[in-house]
Amino acid sequence: MRKKIFALLSALSCTVCVFAGCGTLPRDEAAPASTPSTVETDTTASAAAAESTTEEANAKETLFRRMADSTLCIFTSTGSNGTGFLYGEKYLITNAHVLYDAESFTLLDRQGIERQGTVVFTDDGEDIAVIELADYQGTSVTFGDSDALPLGEQVLLIGNPADGEPFSYCTGRRVKAEGDLFRNIDPDRYLPVDAPIVSGYSGGPAFNMQGELIGISNAAFTEDLSEYGFEHLGLLIPINRVKELIAAYCG
């Protein structure tokens, strides 16, 4: 059996997929007289699909712009990147592994202003770290219900890719954890999504399309997944798994 490769996002070295939107295809005003009616139907369907795709792209862009104010990018003294999200009045939540071996770190907000903070809590078992922010009041995320996210539902993830621009984002859908690929993955501990999350997304927020936080980017498969029907596959920490821990510490 081929060995599966499963790595923390901090160890990945992939190219980030930044959602760039999509245009509509032009629709002919009239088909030639010799064109079968079935082609007219296909053209209409293509135009409708293109319009739907554009609306969907606009919805994702709007959601990203709204939720980016709840996100900070992390740059550590070890040269690695990470991401965190704001919770409560003065806390930033990220993965504990983002800060491993780092003597210091810098936080960047959406306006490009550097912010400072102090690590006040870590839980290596849950891979959660809490940073108390100094002199910064951001927009706190709203927790959603990760158990209620249906299969196939879209999610939007914000990150700080090592080989890309701060405050990039990507999208994907929740997929089912079954088969040999998920043999060693505890379904209660991780939420699989087919989003192209890469190094630097660790600790970043994953939102449903209503803008509720449903997970935290944590890890990704780095092997060729084509035989399983995936181009990309990442794992989120379901927010239901850690929301009580976060709320208890941050109040």
Residues tagged active-site: 97, 127, 202
Distance CA 46, CA 17 (A): 25
Q: Provide the 8-state DSSP code for 143.
A: B
For 190-215, the DSSP string reads -EEE-----TT-TT-EEEETTS-EEE
Distance CA 78, CA 209 (A): 34
Q: Cα-Cα-Cα-Cα dihedral of 249, 240, 56, 196, to 10°? A: 90
H/E stretch holding 109: none
